[in-house]
């Protein structure tokens, strides 16, 4: 075989190999199967299911203000709202309610404020009432519940320790107790908002620091104690 033929054959083989590599790169890889994430520790074999539902009451608009029954219903709602952690309370007003509905919604907002609900916790929104007369004012909030696992459904052989793995129920009781004892299940769903910093106090401390003074609070003389030297 001449050198020209040998060179052409080598080029042909190289082109075929490069084409094969390009086709292999262009072919998408099959998706990896989705598997459940294993717990970081053995106590994470179980989880708490947090769900939310609306705790709502419906109030009929009154031109003269809130009735005694409506005030009592709002007071009971605020008590449940405080026990649930104090999230936002939403006042939903019908879009075609008119002036009477507007005055009633204002009275509801004032009553909530009188019951101790902060202004930033009250939200006023509208909903489409489809031009139905007498549509109610809906007042409510999100109520969270926590449901823990059910333990003791099955038991492993405690004498089988060759794999050095925890028991299938290990950590179940702790997780179930946490779900039953948590005061506000909403804390398991999302963290609470951080209160704003005290800018005035911060400026006082920084001012003392810049002046080379002690930044700690003054000593409370009533907190001073002494050991008695009396001999009994």
Query: Does some domain include residue 133?
Result: yes
Query: Does some domain include residue 70?
Result: yes
* Three-class secondary structure of residue 57 per DSSP: strand
Residues 161-186 have a mean pLDDT of 83
Rounded CA gap, 209 and 213, in Å? 6
Domain total of the chain: 1
pLDDT of residue 20: 55
Rounded to two decimals, the pTM is 0.54
Query: Does some domain include residue 190?
Result: no
Least reliable range by pLDDT among 35-44, 129-138, 166-175: 35-44
On whether the CB atoms of residues 127 and 93 are closer than 8 A, the answer is yes
Query: Does some domain include residue 164?
Result: no
Contacts of residue 145, defined as CB under 8 A and 6 or more positions apart, other chains included, come to 50, 51, 52, 53, 185
Rounded CA gap, 118 and 190, in Å? 21
Query: Does some domain include residue 209?
Result: no
pLDDT in tens, 122-155: 998 888 876 566 788 899 998 888 898 888 887 7
Take residue 189 and report the two structure tokens written for it: 């769903």
Residue scoring higher pLDDT (166 or 1): 166
pLDDT of residue 40: 55
On whether the CB atoms of residues 145 and 48 are closer than 8 A, the answer is no
- Reported as a pLDDT band with limits 50, 70 and 90, residue 32 is very low
pLDDT of residue 76: 93
- pLDDT at position 31 over 60: no
- pLDDT at position 36 over 50: no
Query: Does some domain include residue 71?
Result: yes
Least reliable range by pLDDT among 30-34, 121-125, 149-153, 201-205: 30-34
Its sign, for the CA torsion 153, 154, 159, 164, is: negative
In the chain, alpha helices (H): 3-26, 68-83, 99-114, 172-181, 186-189, 199-210
- Reported as a pLDDT band with limits 50, 70 and 90, residue 6 is low
Element holding 118 (H helix, E strand): none
Query: Does some domain include residue 173?
Result: no
Residues 45-58 have a mean pLDDT of 87
CATH number at residue 60: 3.30.1330.60
pLDDT of residue 27: 46
Segments forming the whole domain that contains residue 69: 54-142
pLDDT of residue 75: 93
Highest mean pLDDT among 96-100, 104-108, 197-201, 224-228: 104-108
Query: Does some domain include residue 114?
Result: yes
pLDDT of residue 35: 41
């Amino acid at each position: 075989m001449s050198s020209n033929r040998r060179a052409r054959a080598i080029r042909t083989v190289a082109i075929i190999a490069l084409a094969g590599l390009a086709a292999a790169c262009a072919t998408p890889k099959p998706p990896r199967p989705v598997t459940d994430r294993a717990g970081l520790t053995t106590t994470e074999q179980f989880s708490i299911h947090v769900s939310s539902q609306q705790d709502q009451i419906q109030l009929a608009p009154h031109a003269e203000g809130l009735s005694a029954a409506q005030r009592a219903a709002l007071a009971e709602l605020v008590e449940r709202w405080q026990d649930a952690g104090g999230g936002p309370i939403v006042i939903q007003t019908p879009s075609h309610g008119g002036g009477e509905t507007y005055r009633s919604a204002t009275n509801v907002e004032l009553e909530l404020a009188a019951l101790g609900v902060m202004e930033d916790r009250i939200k006023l929104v509208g909903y489409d009432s489809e031009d139905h007369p007498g549509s109610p004012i809906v007042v409510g909030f999100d109520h969270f519940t926590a449901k823990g696992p059910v333990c003791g459904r099955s038991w492993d052989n405690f004498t089988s320790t060759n794999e050095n793995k925890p028991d299938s129920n290990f950590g179940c009781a702790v997780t179930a107790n946490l779900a039953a004892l948590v005061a506000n299940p909403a804390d398991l769903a999302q963290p609470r908002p951080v209160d704003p910093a005290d800018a005035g106090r911060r400026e006082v401390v920084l001012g003392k620091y810049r002046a080379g003074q002690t930044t700690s609070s003054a000593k409370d003389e009533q907190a001073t104690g002494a050991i008695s030297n009396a001999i009994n």
